[in-house]
Each structure stands twice: as structure tokens, then as C-alpha cells.
A and B are shown apart, each in its own frame.
Chain A
């Protein structure tokens, strides 16, 4: 919270007001410039470099998207929204969008469930705790392209390991590279392999912040381990779950490495069964078409989509995290993360974080209403 509040004492204030020096020497003037300019000097590398390599390309994408523009020919004439119309007219674009969402859903839901389970296991009073934690993090350091090729081999249609294993159980071989849904499952598995352990550690951190008294109270009330998990742990880490879901949404809609390396051609298979939208963008720009204008249109459509889904996500999860009869206290870090998401999404409706001690997630759905009620001298008991 302190990060955003401007009320902290300035560390390097000059001299107290009202006692202006009579004669300002050169070194003093230099010192004052030092104090005045240094803060800007320190933040300028970030802003300058980010403007050139992050912000400018993003904005310039819009410029490229309304022109005829080829990899070799360069900038052509202004064509208005023609590129957008062309893209939206392509069946492959829509196919790639469906593929992306399908792979994303197949990867995020099991991943969150599995990660919470692993975190619950790690949250026990384990011997050699660090060993187990490092163990589940191993997949994170393997490059996605490598993971994808290894799994591509394991999910081979003929003589693949997975088909061999399910053959033992008596299931017919699955066309992991020919069937559309099966290929999505395989690619989702690749994503899950890399990120489940990582997310489990995030959940573990949240679980360890849960006050132990709650568990003691639950034990006194006669709750078993499973009941404790569902009635204490899960509600307590809800904010973290939301955080993980939001971040995995932003990443999941831009999936590229895994699909690019899933087969030798790397262009989504013969019938574009697993071509995602970013892969489609790549193909339009650097594949056969070499059409930058159209690829820029794809980028902007995807950009708007990600921001929109992020905002919907935020509004939905904010409702979830603030409703309920007795909302538990949510870790301050997560409240903060959510507030920042709010800013990022450009919504200015959240309560300012600098207003004294954080009310946690116990804040009412309409902060203004409660504040108004409190000001009018009535205790807002009606929502109990």
C-alpha cells in the first residue's frame, strides 16, 4: 500500500521553508539540481527503453494494420480497414481462435486443480520440504520448445508412449496428431507440465499465510482434513486463485512455442487442427503470405480480445471475491495485485489504496454506498 501513497516524508528535502539561504553557492545549486533531477534520471532508462521497444511497436501495429504492407515490399498504400475485413473473412483465423480458447480451457482448469492439490500436499509438515518444492519446479527450467518436442514424441500416433500405455489398459490408440480435440489435450498437457508446479508454489505461499488458528478452530469443531481443506483453505486462498487464473489467461491466449514445435512442420498440422492465433499471426507475417498488414490486423484483434477478456475476468472475480456472507480477510498482497489489475484495466472505480488500513476483501461491492452510510451515521448492518 505504501507504494502508492504520496504521503510519506520526503527523504531529501532541502532546508526547511522560511529559512532561505542568502547566497547560493555553486555547489549548493548543484546539490539542489541533484535532488530535483535525480528521480527523473533514475526512472528515465525504463521509460525511454520501454517507449521505444514496447509502446511504440504496439501503437505502430495499428498504423501497419491499415496499410498494404509486405515483408519484402515494405509500406504500400492506405487501405483502411480492408486488412481487418480480410482477416475476419478467413476461416483459418476463426479456427485458430477456437483452437486457442480450447487449448487454454483444457490447460488452465486441470492445471489450477492439480496445482492446488500439490500445494496442499506440500503444505504438510514435510521432511526435506525444500527438496520436494524444488522437485516440482524442475519442469519450469526446461524450455517450452524442448518440452513440446519431448511430449510430441510421447504423444506420437504410432508407437508413442502414451498410446502404448493406454493400450495396456485396453484403450484403442488415439490420434494425438490427427484428431482435433486429442491434439488439444496433448498440447494442454505440455502447458500443464511446465506450469503446474510453478503455480503450486504460488498456492503454497498463499496457504502458508492462512492463520493457523482457523485450522485449530476447525479441528475443535470436528472438521477432518478434507473438510478443513474445502472450508478453510480454499476460501482463504481465493484471491490467489483469481490471480493465477488472470495471469494464465493473458499467457494462455498468446500460446506459441508449444504448438510451433508439436510437429515437424510447425504450422498447426495438415488441417490446422492446433493452429493458435499467435501462430496464425506468425504464419501470415513470416510464412507463406508475408503480409505484414494483415498480420498487424490479427495482432490488434487479439490485443483487444485479451484486454476485453482480462476486464471481464476482473469484473467477474471482483464480484466473487467481495460477495459471500462472511468474506475472510484476504492477503494484502493479493488485494494489491487486484487493485493494480483494476488500474491496468483502466477502471477508476476501486477504492484508493492509501486510505488508511486496508479493509481487506471485506470491502462491500459498492464502496461508495457503505462510505455514504457510515458518513450518515448509520452502521451498515443491512448486508448481514
Chain B
């Protein structure tokens, strides 16, 4: 990691990439020399994969089974069938569930929060990593310290605050507390201090770019890979978040995880309907995962891990 940074500072970004690629190829060649794993490894991994996928399969099967059959057998049938779509239709059309409203809210919240976290984190991260100002050290330590603080425990005053300004039940009550994240600032600071050479910033300044122009035209493009990962993880986190939305939002104006809750409250005897609804709620992110799963894996392995 550090050698990349050194190369990047002396020979520019392309050279750093090329060096990293060369090294990668070298290590891959040396690993290819060690033999490929046998069938035992693949079998064990296959089992792990089956366990990962099983609950989703289970949801599909139960979603297409008869409620009476579910109450009498652990796995009423082996394969999902077309009655699944009937459950989907019921969930989507139900007046108590507000499915489309929830989908819209989830999209709005996840997109707004991700965009805001990425923008503000990149701004602050650029400032911490590449600009010099009084109080920089202590402020950065403060940011890092807040990462270990369980802010989730501040829900009571947050709720009082939201009801004071009349935001309870409204989407902005979920959006606004999520707009910034200490982890994001820390992550972008780390990335930019290694990926953005000082020379590049200086060159832009010499060419007469203002501070904000330098940020926008030099720092932003350099930050893109890390920003994309941060955005992805924030998106998943917001999409699956439940605790605070369940407190501040109501069933009339829910997010998708709250739909799961109202499914259980409304139809808890009708297991097939509940299971069909759960799958429907999971489906959007599952489809996104097909396209961005690779980046998520890379992000976790690069350390985009929220503590």
C-alpha cells in the first residue's frame, strides 16, 4: 500500500497502477505454482453457498405454498410455483401495506443519504488529507473517536427533536440524521492521503484554480473509486436499516424494512403471504447485487468496513 503511495507521488498515478499490476501478476504467478485446490475445498465452499442461498429459496417455496400446508409441514413442496405471483400481487395491492410508497421512500432515502455522505466525506477527507489548517490534528482525532461512539443510543432526544419540528412520520426525519458519517470522513481521508499526489494539487493551484475548483477537478476524480465503495455501503446500510425508521416513521409512510414489520403484524397467520412479501422486499437489492456484488467484495477487502 505504501509503495503505491510512494510511486504515486514520484511518478504519477499511471505508474503506480502499472507497478501494482506487475506485482499482482507476479504474486499470481507464484501462487499458480502452488497447486490448485482439490474437490474437498469446492465441496465445502459449495455447502457454504447453499447455506447462504437457502433462506431465500425457503422464502420462495413457502411463498408459493398453501398456508394450511405450511402449518403442517416444514417444507410443503420442493419448488416454487406460479402461485407466488399471486402473493406478490396481494402484497403490492394491499391498502394496509403501502408497498409502492415504501419502495419510493427507500429509494429516496438510500440515494439521498449515499450522495450526501459521499459528497461531504470527500470534501472533509480532502481537507484533512491535503490541506493544512490550524486544529487539523485534534479535529481528525475527534472524527475518529466518534466512530467508536454508539450514536444509536441517542434516539430519544432525536425523537423529541423530530417531534418538536414536526418531522415525525416524514422521510426527512430519516434522511437528515444520516447525511454525514464519521466513518466516511475517515475512509476518504485515508484514501486521498495515499491516492492523491500533492504535486497534482499544487499544479492545479499554480494554474490558477481556486480552492473549490481544485477540489472539484482534481480531488473528486482521484477519489472516485473510494467514493463509489463508500456510496455502495451507505446505500446497503440505509436500505436495510430498521431501528430508527421504525421509531420515527409510521405504517402510512414506511420504508421497505417497515413493510416486513407490517406484513407480520397484519398477516402473521398467512405465512405464505408474509414470505412472498419478504421476498418481494428483498428482490430490489438482490437485483442490484448482481451488478455491484463484485465492487462490494472489493470494498470489504479494501477495508471499507464500518465499525
* Residue ranges of A at the interface with B (Cβ–Cβ < 8 Å): 2-4, 6, 8-12, 31, 34-36, 38-40, 42-43, 45-47, 49-50, 53-58, 60-61, 63-64, 118, 121-122, 124-127, 130, 132-147, 149-151, 153-154, 159-161, 163-165, 193, 197-198, 201-202, 204-205, 208, 212, 215, 246-247, 250, 253-254, 256-257, 260-261, 264, 266, 278, 281-282, 285-286, 292, 295-296, 299-300, 302-303, 306-307, 310, 332-333, 340-341, 343-346
Residue pair B286, A141 in contact (C-beta under 8 Å): yes
Residue pair A161, B74 in contact (C-beta under 8 Å): yes
Residue pair A149, B133 in contact (C-beta under 8 Å): no
Interface window among B13-21, B85-93, B140-148, B222-230: B140-148
Give CA–CA (A270, B136) in the complex, Å. Answer: 53
Chain A CB within 8 A of B81 CB: no
Give CA–CA (A307, B148) in the complex, Å. Answer: 8
Chain A CB within 8 A of B220 CB: no
Interface of A is mostly: helix
Chain A CB within 8 A of B37 CB: yes
Give CA–CA (A58, B161) in the complex, Å. Answer: 12
Contact partners of A198 in chain B: CB under 8 A:
300
Contact partners of A11 in chain B: CB under 8 A:
130-132, 198, 201-202, 205
Residue pair B179, A49 in contact (C-beta under 8 Å): yes
For window 254-297 of chain B, which residues contact chain A by CB distance below 8 Å?
256-257, 260-261, 264-265, 268, 271, 274-275, 278, 281-282, 285-286, 288-289, 293-294, 296-297
Q: Distance in Å from the Cβ of A258 to the closest Cβ of chain B? A: 10
A-B contacts counted at CB < 8 A amount to 330
The 6 residue pairs across chains A and B that have the minimum distance between CB atoms = A57-B154, A164-B74, A344-B148, A38-B211, A60-B157, A39-B133
Which of A8, A54, A137, A247 meets B305, CB within 8 Å? A247
Residue pair A299, B210 in contact (C-beta under 8 Å): no
Ordered by A's residue number, 28 sampled pairs between the chains whose C-beta atoms are within 8 Å are A8-B198, A39-B127, A45-B123, A46-B180, A46-B182, A49-B120, A53-B179, A55-B146, A58-B149, A58-B154, A124-B41, A135-B48, A137-B297, A141-B296, A142-B55, A145-B242, A146-B260, A147-B55, A150-B59, A163-B74, A261-B261, A264-B265, A264-B268, A299-B156, A310-B148, A340-B186, A343-B144, A344-B147
Residue pair B282, A146 in contact (C-beta under 8 Å): yes
Residue pair A133, B297 in contact (C-beta under 8 Å): yes
Chain A CB within 8 A of B62 CB: yes
Give CA–CA (A286, B185) in the complex, Å. Answer: 33
Which of B44, B131, B136, B274 meets A149, CB within 8 Å? B274
Contact partners of A164 in chain B: CB under 8 A:
73-75
Chain A CB within 8 A of B190 CB: yes
Residue pair A38, B153 in contact (C-beta under 8 Å): no
Q: Distance in Å from the Cβ of A247 to the closest Cβ of chain B? A: 4
Residue pair A6, B136 in contact (C-beta under 8 Å): yes
Residue pair A138, B289 in contact (C-beta under 8 Å): yes
Chain A CB within 8 A of B45 CB: yes
Residue pair A121, B45 in contact (C-beta under 8 Å): yes
Chain A CB within 8 A of B139 CB: yes
Who on chain A is nearest to B132 by CB? A10
Which of A57, A254, A264 meets B161, CB within 8 Å? A57
Give CA–CA (A157, B154) in the complex, Å. Answer: 36
Who on chain B is nearest to A142 by CB? B282
Give CA–CA (A54, B176) in the complex, Å. Answer: 11
Contact partners of A257 in chain B: CB under 8 A:
242-243, 257
Q: C-beta contact mask, B30-44 vs A, less than 8 Å → 1, else 0? A: 111011110001101
Contact partners of A55 in chain B: CB under 8 A:
146
